[in-house]
């Protein structure tokens, strides 16, 4: 008969947490402005606060890496903008870096902060 030890339980719990982190779903936010404006605002915010690695303005996509913090070694993020009838949807896919085992929800917090930053950029542009 298999003897379940504390070490086995800890190992199983760690595996479940890792599996949950790997299957993170992309976050999205809808805007009532043209897709090109959302792209420009998102790109500007990412460029000012993170390290942009790739951009394709024609297809409204770019990639960036966040900086490190006490809670995280940073995230690799993919951004895409989809046109809608009333504006655009910004889709942000946040992935942990390879070295990082757990992020404890930091990806969700980073996504919310990113969306708020894009909203601020758009409202700043409207005031001009």
Q: How far apart are CA 35 and CA 81, in angstroms?
A: 6
Q: Specify the higher pLDDT residue, 22 or 89.
A: 89
Q: Which pLDDT tens digit goes with each residue over 102-124?
A: 555 667 888 999 999 999 999 98
- Is the pLDDT score of 34 beyond 80? yes
- Is the pLDDT score of 93 beyond 80? yes
Q: How far apart are CA 63 and CA 74, in angstroms?
A: 13
- Listed residue (26, 2, 47, 38) closest to 93, CA to CA: 26
Helix (H/G/I), strand (E/B), else coil: 100: coil
| Global pTM value | 0.75
Side-chain-side CA neighbours of residue 126 (13 Å):
10
């Amino acid at each position: 008969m298999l003897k379940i030890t504390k070490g086995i339980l800890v190992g199983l719990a760690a595996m479940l947490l890792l599996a949950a982190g790997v299957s993170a779903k992309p976050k999205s936010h809808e805007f009532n402005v043209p897709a090109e404006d959302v792209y420009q605002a998102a790109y500007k915010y990412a460029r000012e606060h993170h390290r942009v690695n790739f951009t394709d303005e024609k297809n409204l996509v770019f990639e960036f890496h966040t900086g490190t913090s006490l809670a995280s070694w940073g995230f690799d993020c993919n951004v895409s903008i989809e046109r809608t009838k009333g504006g655009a949807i910004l889709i942000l896919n946040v992935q942990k870096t390879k070295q990082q085992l757990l992020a404890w929800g930091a990806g969700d917090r980073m996504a919310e902060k990113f969306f708020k930053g894009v909203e601020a950029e758009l409202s700043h542009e409207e005031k001009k």
